[in-house]
Amino acid sequence: MAYSSCSSSLVRILLTSFIGSTFVVLASASNFYQDVDITWGGDGRAKILNNGGLLTLSLDKTSGSGFQSKREYLFGKIDMQLKLVAGNSAGTVTAYYLSSQGPTHDEIDFEFLGNLSGDPYILHTNVYSQGKGNREQQFYLWFDPTADFHTYSILWNPRRIIFSVDGTPIREYKNPESLGVPYPKSQPMRIYSSLWNADDWATRGGLVKADWSKAPFTASYRNFNEHACIWSSGKSSCNSNTPSNNAWLNQELDATSQERLKWVQKNYMIYNYCTDLKRFPQGFPPECAINKSS
């Protein structure tokens, strides 16, 4: 009896680790050597490690560092696992975003504002269309983002943008074109990420400065995953006969996800431009009408 239950749990363990390793193989199909270019921060501040499976950015008093994706996208679902600067990260900002180029660019932003040890990071989000942003929502997280890797995702399709953390939606931005507000849908974007010093504003509005005796500050990245329409030589890979595995192109929040979104917005949202009366005494921007926090 004891023997057989032992062996069946052994089988289960073997099976689980087999399934587990299959997933690891799929997930680690991403390779930072193939997927990104290091664009900022010489002298080894940005490093690709583990045969392309891990990327680290660092910041010291002289410089920060950053990378960008080799590919451009026109719509996509992009996941990345990040482990943020641990300990006293006050004054540091880790930015992770999609952006097109030029003065009327579009942009979809995650920015992580560091803090003193034990004090909460702020996750800052924004959406730019045709060069205009000012659409901030900010959140605390329900876990310590420096203790382990967590998945931060941007779903960008023609109808909506959904920001998610570990699969939980934290913000939905619906296409507001019917209200006369432009929406990012015609300029291809790249992924950008950087770690930089913003101690003039980031932590408690700039009151807390970076402690350079703790430098270098380091953030880590892994398991980059894209389901996207790749933009290349003026053409989208999704133009002809978009395959059925592009479900993300029409994805919307189901009832469960809407409940999760409500939970985050009720308990963890600390700023929403759409409710900032001081900033918009003459009335909120038009898109707020369809992007009310539920």
Ligand X SMILES: *[C@@H]1O[C@H](CO)[C@@H](O)[C@H](O)[C@H]1NC(C)=O
Residues making contact with ligand X (CB under 6 A): 113, 115, 119-120, 122, 202-204
How far apart CA 219 and CA 111 sit, in angstroms, is: 13
Q: Which tokens in the block code for residue 294?
A: 């539920």
Nearer to ligand X, 119 or 226 (CB): 119
Nearer to ligand X, 194 or 203 (CB): 203
Which listed residue (72, 111, 172, 287) is catalytic?
Answer: 111
Buried b (16+ CB within 10 A) or exposed e, 133-170: eebbbbbebeeebbeebbbbbbbbbeebbbbbbeebbb
How close are the terminal C-alpha atoms of the chain, in Å? Answer: 54
* Backbone angles phi and psi of 155, in degrees to 5: -100, 125
CB 112, min distance to ligand X, A: 9
How far apart CA 86 and CA 58 sit, in angstroms, is: 12
Q: Which tokens in the block code for residue 104?
A: 């009327």
CB 113, min distance to ligand X, A: 4
CB 294, min distance to ligand X, A: 24
Radius of gyration in angstroms for the set of CA atoms belonging to the chain, rounded to a whole number: 21
Q: Verify whether residue 72 is a known catalytic residue.
A: no
Q: Which tokens in the block code for residue 207?
A: 């009151």
CB 265, min distance to ligand X, A: 17
Nearer to ligand X, 122 or 170 (CB): 122
CB 204, min distance to ligand X, A: 4
Which listed residue (72, 107, 172, 287) is catalytic?
Answer: 107
Nearer to ligand X, 167 or 206 (CB): 206
Beta strands in 84-187 (DSSP E): 92-99, 107-113, 122-128, 137-139, 150-156, 160-165, 168-174
CB 195, min distance to ligand X, A: 15
Contacts of 40 (CB under 8 A, 6+ apart): 46, 63, 64, 65, 66, 67, 194
173, 159 Cβ separation under 8 angstroms = no
Active site residues: 107, 111
